[in-house]
């Protein structure tokens, strides 16, 4: 009878060990895939990330938004001309050079609207260069290697049936949480690109405000916001690099449960810091 019970126990133990090892080997596969793809995703310009979406956004912007920007520019140009005439010595002495000044400022404003997408893409080209340069220096591999898995199996084989059952349930919960966190990483990275497309679609309107010193604050803040969105990708790369170092320093020894929960904690921390990159980038560039 004892032999039969021992065989059943050994069979359950082997099944639990196999289940735990399957959980370990696939626990962070989804997260690792998302992490490894982040460098490629955040390093793309809006035109390169999805040419179809960018073409749609540009077409709508040029068809719908640029006419509105033209009206705004016309109003600002008229207001600026009135201000130049009134403010210049209170109409007592009008010099012709102010009209050349007004023509030059209006010409520059028109050129800015005409080349809106070239300017915005130049900002993201610079940000893309920075992100791609940092990607070559930051190691983003967070996968559990084969030697670590072999060490974990040796540790599991020395454990009793009860602790193995608890570890199996813990690894299953952590695997489920890791899948949820991988979805959050996807939402953060792709949400940033959607925000970029939304910002770019309205670009002609803030660019139309550069013809007036007072109203140009709108355009300046818009450019700072674009720069913040572009360099947010660099901050995301820094978060990925820190996460990779933290995960690689975890030792899967006798306290395997503590180790896997530690990895889960680092993954939660990664998602939290990724959420903070947007506000941090805006604070650095004084965008609001």
Residue 197 confidence class, pLDDT cut points 50, 70, 90: very high
How far apart are alpha carbons 78 and 80 in whole angstroms? Answer: 5
Mean pLDDT, the chain, integer: 78
The per-residue pLDDT for 38 is 74
Q: Which two tokens stand for residue 213?
A: 């010193």
141 vs 117: CA distance, rounded Å: 36
Which residue, chain included where needed, has tokens 């939660």? 268
Which pTM value belongs to this model? 0.78
H/E segment holding residue 59: helix 51-60
Q: Write the DSSP string, 184-239.
A: HHHHHHHHHHHHHHHHHHTTHHHHGGGGSTTTHHHHHHHHHHHHHHHHHHHHHHHH
If you count DSSP H runs as helices and E runs as strands, how many of each does the chain have, helices first?
12, 0
Q: What is the tens place of the pLDDT at every residue in 58-103? A: 898 888 888 898 888 888 888 877 777 776 655 556 666 777 777 8
Judge contact between 135 and 236, C-beta under 8 A: no
Work out the pLDDT band at 250, boundaries 50, 70, 90: low
Q: Residue 218 — very low, low, confident or very high, per pLDDT cuts 50/70/90?
A: confident
CA atoms within 13 Å, Cβ hemisphere of 30? 17
N-to-C CA span, the chain: 75
The more confident residue out of 55 and 137 is 55
280, 264, 94: which is closest to 192 by C-alpha?
A: 280
Asked if residues 240 and 38 have their Cβ atoms less than 8 Å apart, the reply is yes
- Cα angle 142, 144, 149 (rounded to 5 degrees) comes to 170
If one compares 219 and 135, the residue with the highest pLDDT of the two is 219
């Amino acid at each position: 009878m004892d032999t039969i019970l021992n065989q059943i126990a050994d069979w359950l133990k082997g099944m639990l060990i196999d289940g735990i090892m399957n959980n370990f080997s696939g626990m962070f596969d989804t997260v690792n895939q998302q992490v490894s793809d982040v460098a490629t995703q955040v390093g793309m310009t809006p035109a390169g990330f999805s040419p179809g979406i960018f073409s749609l956004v540009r077409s709508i912007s040029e068809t719908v938004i640029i006419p509105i920007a033209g009206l705004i520019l016309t109003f600002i140009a008229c207001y600026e001309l009135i201000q130049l005439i009134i403010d210049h010595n209170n109409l007592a002495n009008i010099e012709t050079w102010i009209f050349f000044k007004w023509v030059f400022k209006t010409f520059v404003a028109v050129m800015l609207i005409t080349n809106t997408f070239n300017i915005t893409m130049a900002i993201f080209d610079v940000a893309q260069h920075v992100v791609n340069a940092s990607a070559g220096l930051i190691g983003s591999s967070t996968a559990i290697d084969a030697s670590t898995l072999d060490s974990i199996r040796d540790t599991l084989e020395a454990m009793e049936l009860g602790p193995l059952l608890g570890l199996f349930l813990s690894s299953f919960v952590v695997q489920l949480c890791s899948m949820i966190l991988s979805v959050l990483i996807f939402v953060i990275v792709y949400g940033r690109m959607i925000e970029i497309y939304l910002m770019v679609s309205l670009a002609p309107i803030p660019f139309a405000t550069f013809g007036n010193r007072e109203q140009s604050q709108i355009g300046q803040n818009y450019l700072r916001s674009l720069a913040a969105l572009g360099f947010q990708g660099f901050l995301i790369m820094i978060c990925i690099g820190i996460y990779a170092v933290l995960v690689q320093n975890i030792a899967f020894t006798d306290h395997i449960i503590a180790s896997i929960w530690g990895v889960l904690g680092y993954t939660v921390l990664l998602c939290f810091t990724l959420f903070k990159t947007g506000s941090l980038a805006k604070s650095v560039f004084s965008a609001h």
